Every structure is written in structure tokens, then in C-alpha cells.
Amino acid sequence: MTADKGSYTDRPVQEPYRVGFLLIDNFTLIALATAVEPLRMANQLAGTELYSWKLLTAGGEPARASDGISMLPDASIQEEHRFDLVIVVAGIDVTRSFSRKEVIWLKLMARRHVLLGAVCTGPYVLASAGFWTGTPVAPIGNAWRPCRRAFHGCRPTTACLLSSGNV
């Protein structure tokens, strides 16, 4: 088997691209849906599993979306995982909705060369883990003010897509 040159991990080409969605309490359900649905549709159109994904929480407990709907995760971050990409899905009241557990786990994923991303107010969580210091970050909506106040090294921008190392 040969390694996929487009990935930072050692995933064989024949295996689906593995995505973990880290759900932070009060996450925005539409942000999760708009991140998952293109993966599902790509699989459907290709007629094969190009992408696989898991919903994760810190302890494996259900995560409550900002609209009150609870989502049962597939797994906990305390379990061993092999992802190519982890996306932080956050939402309302992000400054009080995550813990040190998620931050430590994200740092571990980065050390393993897993790509990291975020939707909605997820950039705040990544900034809390020390990512994007001194580099442009594109927080939206409720994340603009908290990011500017809490992370002086972050440079907010209005760009739609940013890349900084493996984040």
C-alpha cells in the first residue's frame, strides 16, 4: 500500500479520509450539517466511501446544540482515534462551553500531524489551544469579540479560507 501524499497521516490510499467532528456544548447544528453533508454527498455521488466521520465529545456524553437538540456522539476523545482531520464545532457562549480536556486533546492531535479546522465559533477553541498565534484567523459571528479580547496574537481577517501549518 502507498501512503496518500495529500494527507499528513499514514492513511493508505484505499481507505476513506477520516474526519472527527469535536462537538462543543451549545454548538450550532447548522454548522455541523454544512460540514458533514458535503462529505456524505461526495460518498453518494462517487458510489464509494471516500470519507468517514465520527462525532466526538470530551467524555462521550451527548452534546446539546444551541437549538436544544442533543446529539449522541459516536465516541469520546478519551478513546484512541486515527483521524486525518478534526473539525471543532462550537457555537453560542463558546468561552464557557469547552474545557481543558478538549484543548489538551487538540494539542495531541496536532502533535500527531492531524489537520485541524473549525466552524462557527470553533476558532476560539483552537486559539485557546495556542494555534494561530500571530497568524490570520477568520472567526465569525459571536467569535470575533472573544478572539480579539482573549488572544492578542490572533489577527482576525475576513478571508473565507485560511491555512496555517496543520491548522
Give the model confidence (pLDDT) of 40-58 as tens digits: 999 999 999 999 999 999 9
Question: Which CATH architecture best describes the domain 17-156?
Answer: 3-Layer(aba) Sandwich (3.40)
Res 127: pLDDT: 85
**Per-residue pLDDT tens over the stretch 48-101:** 999 999 999 999 999 999 999 999 999 999 999 999 999 999 999 888 999 999
107 is written with which cell numbers?
Answer: 494539542
Q: Where are the domains of the chain?
A: 17-156
Show the DSSP H helices in 83-135 as ranges. Answer: 100-111, 122-128
Q: What is the DSSP letter of 131?
A: T
